[in-house]
């Protein structure tokens, strides 16, 4: 039995896996101790649970447990990585390189660093959402201390060539950070093999709870240090003070362990469903997939429906289907997605795009319903669109001047 509404916005957040919740619950009431309380059994029990979770998280990305610094999520982890490196390596330089399509928290951290006297370069992407590695290398100066490039984009799902970027960073003795929020737990990540120095991830994007994430900080070859952005009792090896969110951390660990076991099956199933959705919707005239199709996450597709306004289209079916027209962090804005604009899309196409992100609990029945509902909505909206009528009559709309009354 199909249950409405259908949730296809898993890149914004995922529902918690019941198996994760089950492991988390006892740490709210039975095992409620402070993990920093070392003088009695209540603290010992929770400290042990945190240590175990740290191992589970580390294993997901082939790191050492001591390299995992727990945070409140990826936004905090990204801030700690960029600002922490900027402060720690100030004597070496003050220049950071990132990309125009990064998450807002990376872009805003760069702006903050500029106010503190640092500088940053944002690399452009091509129409597929990919950076030019030659441009990346050319942007490195003797003052560059960090390159930060996301593992996979949250709006279009493209996966960047992380290993190659890390190799360029290593060649120039520059640190490399990746925001792996959208990729961790969904595709294999190996910080050793990839040569990553710092990596951010968040539990709520991988069927864990909101409010917990981590920053991986490499301990050797090279040993990386970041200056704490939160001062206090010196928790998390002095890099992030504050009483640990034990239930969240336990759940984060459990989510990582489940993902490590199930990501391959999940990816195979979801990419089939995603392709079914995509192929059906591309049968609609003037529909386009945004981003590089052969190098992207298995569960994301971002499609523009020309001559249809995205927000209006979403309103036509948002009682039944939850999707987004941009990143969840900027969706309150009526501006077209800056990620899609960076790909070179005009306002019309950027405004007419919808991101579908599938998840572990998405069913084929839900995808079939979505295909029908969306096809009907696009056709209905085009039927009443004067622009669509002009297009069908062969008028080149880009040459038409619209005069205000």
More confident residue, 258 or 397: 258
Q: 10 Å Cβ neighbour count for 127?
A: 12
Structure tokens at 200: 């951010």
Pairing label, strands 353-357, 175-179: unpaired
**Whole-number Å distance between alpha carbons of 56 and 51:** 9
Q: 10 Å Cβ neighbour count for 47?
A: 18
The arithmetic mean of pLDDT across residues 336-344, rounded, is: 93
Residue 2: left (phi > 0), alpha (psi -120 to 50), or beta?
A: beta
Residue 84: partners with Cβ closer than 8 Å, 6 or more residues away: 226, 227, 228, 229, 239
Domain ranges of the chain: 6-11+263-399, 18-258
Q: Is the pLDDT of residue 405 over 70?
A: no
The arithmetic mean of pLDDT across residues 363-374, rounded, is: 97
Q: Which residues on neighbouring strands pair with residue 355, listed in sequence order?
A: 302, 324
Which segment of 155-164, 381-390, 392-401 scores lowest on mean pLDDT? 392-401
pLDDT value for 182:
98
Percentage of the chain beyond pLDDT 70 is 96
Res. 208 pLDDT band, cuts 50 70 90 = very high
Q: Do the Cβ atoms of 64 and 199 come closer than 8 Å?
A: no
Structure tokens at 120: 């940053």
Structure tokens at 346: 């005009």
329 as an active site residue: the answer is: yes
pLDDT value for 327:
47
What pLDDT digit, counting tens, does each position of 104-129 carry? 999 999 999 999 999 999 999 999 99
- Compute, in degrees rounded to 10, the torsion defined by CA atoms 368, 270, 17, 243: -130
DSSP structure class, residue 230? S
Q: Is the pLDDT of residue 330 over 50?
A: no
Query: Under CATH, what is the fold of the domain 6-11+263-399?
Result: 3.90.1150
**Whole-number Å distance between alpha carbons of 182 and 202:** 9
The arithmetic mean of pLDDT across residues 264-288, rounded, is: 97
CA 21 to chain centre: 22
DSSP structure class, residue 344? T
Percentage of the chain beyond pLDDT 90 is 85
Q: Do the Cβ atoms of 353 and 37 come closer than 8 Å?
A: no
Q: Is the pLDDT of residue 316 over 90?
A: no
The arithmetic mean of pLDDT across residues 200-214, rounded, is: 98
The arithmetic mean of pLDDT across residues 327-354, rounded, is: 79
**Whole-number Å distance between alpha carbons of 84 and 96:** 12
**Whole-number Å distance between alpha carbons of 239 and 84:** 9
Q: Is the pLDDT of residue 393 over 70?
A: yes
Q: Is the pLDDT of residue 188 over 90?
A: yes
Q: Which residues on neighbouring strands pair with residue 20, listed in sequence order?
A: none
3-state secondary structure of 216: strand
Res. 404 pLDDT band, cuts 50 70 90 = low
CA 60 to chain centre: 17
The arithmetic mean of pLDDT across residues 296-317, rounded, is: 90
Computed over every residue of the chain, the mean pLDDT equals: 94
Short-list 40, 60, 75, CA closest to 327: 75
Res. 326 pLDDT band, cuts 50 70 90 = low
Q: Is the pLDDT of residue 328 over 60?
A: no
**Whole-number Å distance between alpha carbons of 339 and 158:** 11
Q: Is the pLDDT of residue 9 over 70?
A: yes
Query: Under CATH, what is the fold of the domain 18-258?
Result: 3.40.640
Q: Is the pLDDT of residue 58 over 80?
A: yes
Structure tokens at 128: 């597929």
Of 105, 110, 256, 329, the active-site residue reads 329
> Phi first, then psi: what are they for 284, rounded to 5°?
-70, 135
The arithmetic mean of pLDDT across residues 244-250, rounded, is: 98
pLDDT value for 333:
53
CA distances from 390 to 25, 64, 311, 382, 396 (A): 59, 61, 22, 11, 8
Q: Is the pLDDT of residue 401 over 70?
A: no
């Amino acid at each position: 039995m199909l249950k409405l509404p259908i949730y296809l916005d898993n890149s914004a957040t995922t529902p918690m896996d019941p198996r994760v919740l089950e492991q988390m619950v006892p740490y709210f009431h039975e095992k409620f101790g402070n993990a920093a309380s070392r003088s009695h059994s209540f603290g010992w029990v929770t400290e042990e649970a945190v240590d175990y979770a740290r191992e589970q998280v580390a294993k997901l990305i082939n790191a050492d447990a001591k390299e995992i610094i727990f945070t409140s999520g990826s936004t905090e982890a990204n801030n700690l990585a960029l600002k922490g490196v900027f402060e720690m390596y100030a004597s070496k330089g003050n220049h950071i390189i990132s990309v125009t399509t990064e998450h807002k928290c990376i872009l805003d951290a760069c702006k903050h660093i500029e106010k503190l006297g640092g500088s940053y370069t944002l690399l452009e992407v091509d129409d597929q959402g990919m950076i030019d590695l030659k441009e990346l290398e050319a942007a490195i100066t003797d003052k560059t201390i960090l390159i930060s490039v996301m593992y996979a984009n949250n709006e279009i799902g493209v996966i960047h060539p992380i290993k190659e970027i890390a190799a360029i960073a290593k060649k120039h003795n520059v640190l490399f950070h990746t925001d792996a929020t959208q990729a961790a737990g969904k595709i294999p990540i190996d910080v050793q093999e990839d040569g990553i120095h710092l990596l951010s991830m968040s539990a709520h994007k991988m069927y864990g709870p909101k409010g917990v994430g981590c920053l991986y900080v490499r301990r050797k070859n090279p040993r990386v240090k970041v200056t704490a952005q939160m001062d206090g009792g010196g928790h998390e090896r002095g890099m992030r003070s504050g009483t640990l969110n034990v239930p969240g951390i336990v759940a984060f660990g459990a989510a990582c362990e489940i993902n490590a076991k199930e990501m391959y099956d999940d990816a195979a199933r979801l990419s089939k469903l995603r392709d079914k959705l995509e192929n059906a919707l591309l049968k609609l005239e003037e529909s386009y997939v945004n981003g590089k199709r052969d190098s992207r996450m298995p569960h994301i597709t971002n499609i523009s429906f020309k001559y249809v306004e995205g927000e209006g289209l979403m309103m036509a079916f948002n009682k039944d289907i939850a999707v987004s027209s941009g990143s969840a962090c900027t969706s309150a804005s009526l501006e077209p997605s800056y990620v899609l604009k960076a790909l070179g899309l005009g306002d019309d196409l950027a405004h007419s795009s919808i991101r579908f992100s599938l998840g572990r609990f998405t069913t084929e029945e839900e995808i079939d319903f979505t295909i029908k509902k969306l096809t009907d909505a696009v056709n209905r909206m085009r039927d009443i669109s004067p622009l669509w009528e002009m297009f069908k009559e062969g008028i080149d709309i880009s040459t038409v001047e619209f005069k205000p009354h």
